[in-house]
Amino acid sequence: MSKYLLSTEAQNSLIKIQIYSTKNFGNVKTKQYLTDIRKRMKALAENPSRGIIRADLKVGYHSDFIGSHTIY
């Protein structure tokens, strides 16, 4: 099982996503969306090259999309 560490900025982004989503979509959809984000982060930790190569940011970086958000 691969592990990942979220930066402070990423943790703050998840909090903002939760606040916005709860306000606009309700608790049930927010919980599912955050679960989906966490599952995607776990999948990326297990297979980092799964995402889109983002050499424009830094060599070795990848990104992936979930909903309207990007995971790096």
Is 2 inside a domain boundary? no
24-33, long-range: CB within 8 Å, 24+ apart, which pairs? 33/67
pLDDT of residue 64: 94
Is 28 inside a domain boundary? yes
Count of structural domains within the chain: 1
pLDDT at 1 over 70: no
Rounded to two decimals, what is the model's pTM? 0.86
Which band of pLDDT confidence, cut at 50, 70 and 90, is reported for residue 11? very high
pLDDT of residue 48: 81
Is 66 inside a domain boundary? yes
- What digits encode the pLDDT tens for the residues 22-71? 999 999 999 999 999 999 999 999 998 888 999 999 998 899 999 999 99
Residues 6+ apart with CB under 8 A from 20: none
Is 1 inside a domain boundary? no
pLDDT of residue 70: 95
Is 56 inside a domain boundary? yes
Q: How far is CA 68 from CA 1, 9, 21, 65, in A?
A: 27, 17, 11, 7
